[in-house]
């Protein structure tokens, strides 16, 4: 099975796979919708036993795990999961005690989010974990002659480094992580500038214009989809 980063490097349409372990159906379905809309392949496990059964049959790029389950405590699931491998884990809980967060992180969780949470914060954390925990392979995205080093925050066109400001890099990364997917200006604002940003959507247009100039000659093109937004493609 291809890893997430191998699939990206080979430009094969293999989406990152995420298992959501959540016993509240409304929450589980909400997470499924949010993650699926971002292009992730999502499976749902309503109990700890279901989650462990999934992992015995399939590899996942990430587990989004609720702590409070009807059969096995989420911390116990994490303990057992660590015997099977090193799948990244984002833990969710309505509990606010620091001890739960500490125990989860000590058992190998990669991040922790307390309910209720903003879906944009969830997505940002999911993407950060997937970038951080992509295995031993170089954290690189390649589109034509464009190469992005996600760990080193470096971008090269035909082997030549180009300088990008922080928001330009974040904007390029958001598009390049899902080539061919159309992003609305509002979605890019939420993802790059944050869900609490109230600036003009023309900010996105200005940064896109700067990116197009700097990426000239890369064969990666940021295309305008009129009335919708932007997408990146590579010849």
Predicted model pTM = 0.54
**Average pLDDT per consecutive 10 residues, the chain (235 residues; last block may be shorter):** 46 72 89 87 90 86 86 81 77 70 72 79 80 53 81 82 89 86 86 67 89 87 92 83
Tell me the helix, strand and coil percentages in the chain, rounded to 5.
Answer: 40, 25, 35
Instruction: Report the chain's mean pLDDT, rounded to a whole number.
Output: 79
| The pLDDT of residue 198 | 62
| The pLDDT of residue 133 | 65
- What is the tens place of the pLDDT at every residue in 120-168? 778 877 887 887 665 333 357 778 888 888 767 788 888 889 999 888 9
- Measured CA to CA, the distance from residue 13 to residue 185 in angstroms comes to 24
Which domains does the chain show, CATH number per domain? 4-132 (3.40.50.2300), 140-234 (1.10.10.10)
Question: φ and ψ at 26, to 5 degrees?
Answer: -65, -40
| The pLDDT of residue 10 | 44
- Measured CA to CA, the distance from residue 109 to residue 89 in angstroms comes to 5
- Assigned token pair, 74: 């989420």
- Measured CA to CA, the distance from residue 130 to residue 230 in angstroms comes to 23
| The pLDDT of residue 98 | 63
Q: Are 172 and 211 in contact (CB under 8 A)?
A: yes
- Measured CA to CA, the distance from residue 183 to residue 173 in angstroms comes to 12
H or E element that contains 161: strand 160-162
Question: Which among 151, 141, 159, 173 is positioned nearest to 9, based on CA atoms?
Answer: 141
| The pLDDT of residue 21 | 92
Q: Are strands 41-45 and 17-21 parallel, antiparallel or unpaired?
A: parallel
- Measured CA to CA, the distance from residue 122 to residue 24 in angstroms comes to 17
Beta carbons within 10 angstroms of residue 112's beta carbon: 17
Crossing angle for the helix pair 74-84 and 98-106, nearest 10 degrees?
10
| The pLDDT of residue 128 | 76
| The pLDDT of residue 230 | 94
| The pLDDT of residue 88 | 86
| The pLDDT of residue 213 | 93
Q: Which residues contact 93 (CB under 8 A, 6 or more apart)?
A: 66, 67, 68, 74, 100, 104, 112, 114, 115
| The pLDDT of residue 196 | 53
- Assigned token pair, 77: 């699931």
| The pLDDT of residue 135 | 38
Query: 96: which DSSP letter?
Result: -
| The pLDDT of residue 205 | 92
């Amino acid at each position: 099975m291809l890893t997430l980063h191998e699939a990206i490097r080979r430009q094969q349409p293999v989406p990152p796979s995420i298992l959501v372990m959540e016993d509240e159906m409304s929450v589980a379905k909400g997470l499924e919708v949010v993650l699926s809309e971002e292009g992730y392949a999502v499976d749902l496990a309503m109990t700890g036993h279901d989650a462990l059964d999934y992992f015995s049959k399939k590899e996942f790029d990430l587990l989004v795990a609720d702590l409070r389950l009807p059969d096995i405590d989420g911390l116990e699931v994490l303990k057992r999961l660590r015997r099977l491998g090193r799948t990244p884990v984002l833990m969710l809980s309505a509990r606010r005690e620091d001890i739960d967060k500490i125990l989860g992180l000590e058992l190998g969780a990669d991040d922790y989010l307390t309910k209720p949470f903003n879906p944009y914060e969830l997505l940002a954390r999911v993407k950060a974990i997937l970038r951080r925990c992509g295995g031993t392979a170089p954290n690189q995205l390649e589109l034509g002659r464009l190469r992005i080093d996600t760990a080193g925050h470096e971008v090269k066109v035909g082997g030549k480094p180009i300088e990008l400001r922080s928001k330009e890099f974040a904007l390029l990364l958001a598009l390049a992580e899902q080539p061919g997917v159309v992003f609305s200006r509002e979605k890019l604002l939420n993802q790059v500038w944050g869900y609490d940003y109230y600036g003009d959507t023309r900010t996105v247009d200005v940064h896109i214009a700067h990116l197009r100039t700097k990426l000239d000659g890369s064969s990666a093109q940021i295309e305008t989809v009129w009335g919708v937004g932007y997408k990146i493609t590579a010849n």
